[in-house]
A and B are shown apart, each in its own frame.
Chain A
Amino acid sequence: MSVAYFGRRYTFSAAHRLHTEALTAEENQATYGKCNNPHGHGHNYKVEVLCGGQVDAETGMVINMAKLDEIVKRVVMERFDHMNLNRDEIFEKEVPTTENLSIAVYDLLEPKLQRENVRLEKIRIEETENNFFEYAGMK
């Protein structure tokens, strides 16, 4: 039996500000535009988690959705939902762009899913309905 994939979408709402100490105030403004507003702004982030693995002969599943929900809720939702991303320790030294957020979510979930014998194939995060970011791990 070969690999099949199970995907699930989640939503969380968070604030962020794109700003780096490596650039001057003017350069930050030029680079990040409205996203550099010192007071921050927010999004409803849509997170798509794609898991790959063998389909279990007894359950017909790659991963039990209830188990995946429990992991994502504990590891991602409780950490980021209704929070300011800039204040999370992950983003102390990194700009909370959605590129970096996709990598962070991948790195948080990957070891937890590995324990369930599931491969985290890809994280996709939609920041708005018109822009999205994907990360599939180090390859």
Chain B
Amino acid sequence: MVLLTRRATFSASHYYWNESWSAAENERIFGKCANKYGHGHNYTLEVTVAGEPDAVTGFVVDLKTLKDVIERDVLDVYDHRHLNLEVPEFAKTIPTTENIAIAIWRRLNAGLNVLPSMRSAKLARVRIYETTEIFAEYRGESA
């Protein structure tokens, strides 16, 4: 088994707010992240695929096709967008780093599973850095 990771970056804005709480409670729990005008980050995404290298090509997955899926299913939807206001999965779910990791996993898993170059390879891990000091990771339902 070999793990292969591709990195990508996108920039987006967001804020943390739970509609079922008072403004004071949101500010107490989420601090500066509760500012409803939003704030933004340069996110770094790491997508890890696990599998056996193909006997002919030596690839676990063709990186070009992996890059294309990341661009189509994640970057085109998230880059230079306001996550709360413009990305459907965050209409009701708070775009915390944890929830972004889960959402990106779901987007990629669907697109990658139908890629011919994935063969027996599987999506193993999504790691998303909000800053260089903060990241979240998701390894799927079964992890």
Contact = CB atoms under 8 A, between A and B. Distances in A.
A116 B9 CA distance: 32
| B interface, size bucket | 20 to 34
B143 to A, nearest CB: 6
A2 B105 CA distance: 12
Interface stretch (A6-14, A75-83, A96-104): A6-14
A30 interface: no
Contacts of B20: 58
A61 B95 CA distance: 10
A6 B132 contact: no
B143 A64 contact: no
A65 B141 CA distance: 23
A138 interface: no
Interface of A: 2-10, 50, 55, 58-62, 64-66
B142 interface: yes
Contacts of B27: none
B138 interface: yes
A4 B29 contact: no
Given A7-B136, A9-B132, A59-B94, A2 B18 contact: no
Given A55-B98, A61-B96, A7 B135 contact: yes
B98 A62 contact: yes
B96 A60 contact: yes
Interface of B: 16, 18, 20-21, 29-31, 93-99, 101-102, 132-143
A7 B137 contact: yes
B141 A60 contact: no
B132 A61 contact: no
Contact of A62 (B132, B133, B136, B140): B136
Contacts of B21: 58
Contacts of B132: 9
Contacts of A61: 96, 98
Contacts of B137: 4-7, 50
A60 B19 CA distance: 13
Contacts of A6: 97-98, 135-137
B140 A2 contact: yes
